[in-house]
A = this chain, B = another copy of it.
Amino acid sequence: MTPDRAYAELLVHLRQMALVESTLEVLAWDELTLMPDAATEHRGSQLAHLAGWHHDLAASPRIDDWLAAVELSPLVADPHSAAAVNVREARRQHQRLSRLPRSLVEELARVTTAAQHEWKLARAASDFKHFEPWLAAIITLKREQALCLAEAGPLYDPLLAEYEAGLRTADVAAILEVLRSELTSLLWEVLEMQARAQAASPPGLRGHFPDAAQRQLCRSLAEQLGFDFRRGQLDTAVHPFSTHLGPHDIRMAIRCNECDLRESLYALLHETGHALYDQGLPSEHFGTPAGDAISLGVHESQARLWEISVGKSRGFWRFLLPQLTAAFPAPAGADSNLVWREVNRVQPGVQRVGADEVTYNLHIVLRFELEQALLSRELPTADLPAAWNERQQALLSVRPASDREGCLQDGHWAAGMFGYFPTYTIGNVLAGQLFERAAAELGNLEDQFAAGDFRPLREWLAVHVYRHGKRLTTAELCQGVCGRGLDPAVLIGGLRRKHTALWGS
């Protein structure tokens, strides 16, 4: 077979796989937004069946033939060409997925669909015991998956690689150790500064904000940030998320809390960050690696950049507050500097979602440690609540009052997502580095935000991140744009400067 022919057939095959993947995403989207609970079992069967079919396609030996015919050809000579990227990534994916038995893939889809439903029930009842057998079943399956995929090194490595290719347990541990040490000391400094600075901060973003008006404000904000509603939409769900159902079908979901506007606003900013990335990917390459996001860590960096670097800036609040005051009857204490302080207030708590920037990564430290211990079976599932609460106390000096506030707060493990949490930290670190670079190149971003002008930042991201698809790796992106590899020092330095400005005399 000629290399051209082999490559063309490979692309058709990859695009067929993407049709199945995006159908799986539609089923998952529906499950999270609208599906009645009673349909959970059938949905699990649908997902399992499609996952099995997808696996047959992904593990097909024909991929080997096509790759062998093209890998040494001139077609892939330029390592950053779409062809080279597609071939390289297809090889990596094929190697990984061929090692997994179809039965395991199906079973994981079925069990995690049911487990997510049971987790919801357990969480509502704050009853970890109800969830424990499901967690145990998932750990058994994830161990089997890791054993199938493992090369040298820890069992956790291949699970990490599912979300962030090339990242190893030791890399994450090193980054998190720096963050743990630096953020812990920064935390107490900031708390002291805050205590000195504040008389009483006005509530401002708390009060009563009717659901419909919040949704309208969020829709308008997404539009102003650059989300294209012709190619996507905004819905509500129990947990905020965004998903990429097709080249022109990017959907976000938020939830509204009528007593606290911050929930929907920051979820919207976060999901818009994800969605802008997806809408900015080269749609002509949809269904192939050249049209896909680099990694979940990079995806998260885009979400955190808009949520934090933009949404917690002083300029952003100069821009948003008038709209907010127009949308709701007289929010108390409507001064943009005061609101800016409020949204940046540091407060150690038991929840990861909504945690401030200083404590957020300490929540990741907790999960990173515990999920390794669960996976290695050093930590029996029955001991998880106690271990969680103790570690939480040690890291943040707070203790969950219940399982619901403790180890049942996140749905990731119920969804089989072991190795996912570190991508949040990678995202935070990279967002800090990218934003520092953008600020250096684009002039006064604060003034641009204050004027509602988000286009320069969005276009900078399009040029440096979105349009590349997977043509760059995370490391290449970071090195190329920021001049060095992932480095938590930038994040920490930025936090220190910001909080000194916020609370210093």
Contacts A27-B26, A49-B16, A49-B19 known; A34 to B248 CB distance under 8 Å?
no
Binding site of A, secondary structure by majority: helix, strand, loop or mixed? helix
Partner of A232, one of B36, B50, B232, B235: B36
Give CA–CA (A288, B228) in the complex, Å: 43
The tally of residues in A whose CB lies under 8 Å from a CB in B reads 34
Residues 206-249 of A contacting B (Cβ, < 8 Å): 229-233, 235, 245-249
Closest 8 CB pairs of A and B: A39-B249, A42-B246, A38-B248, A19-B49, A38-B231, A39-B246, A39-B248, A19-B46
Whole-angstrom distance from the CB of A247 to the nearest CB of chain B? 6
Contacts A36-B232, A233-B34 known; A247 to B26 CB distance under 8 Å?
no
- A295-331: contact bitstring with B at CB < 8 Å (1 yes, 0 no)? 0000000000000000000000000000000000000
Q: Which residues of B contact A16 (CB under 8 A)?
A: 49
Each complex incorporates copies of this chain amounting to 2
- A35-46: contact bitstring with B at CB < 8 Å (1 yes, 0 no)? 111110111011
16 A–B pairs (Cβ distance < 8 Å), ordered by A: A19-B45, A19-B46, A19-B49, A22-B42, A22-B46, A23-B27, A26-B46, A30-B30, A36-B229, A36-B232, A36-B233, A36-B248, A38-B249, A39-B231, A42-B286, A53-B53
Are B26 and A49 interface neighbours, CB within 8 A? no
User: Within 8 Å of chain B (Cβ to Cβ): is A490?
Assistant: no
* Chain A interfacial positions (CB closer than 8 Å to B): 16, 19-20, 22-23, 26-27, 30, 34-39, 41-43, 45-46, 49-50, 53, 229-233, 235, 245-249, 286
Q: Which residues of B contact A43 (CB under 8 A)?
A: 246, 249
Give CA–CA (A45, B26) in the complex, Å: 14
Whole-angstrom distance from the CB of A463 to the nearest CB of chain B? 23
Partner of A249, one of B26, B42, B233: B42
Residue of B nearest to A233 (CB): B36
Give CA–CA (A248, B35) in the complex, Å: 10
Q: Which residues of B contact A27 (CB under 8 A)?
A: 23, 26
Contacts A26-B27, A39-B248 known; list 4 others, CB within 8 Å. Answer: A26-B30, A34-B233, A36-B230, A42-B248
Give CA–CA (A229, B37) in the complex, Å: 10
Give CA–CA (A433, B27) in the complex, Å: 40
Residue of B nearest to A231 (CB): B38
Are A34 and B230 interface neighbours, CB within 8 A? no
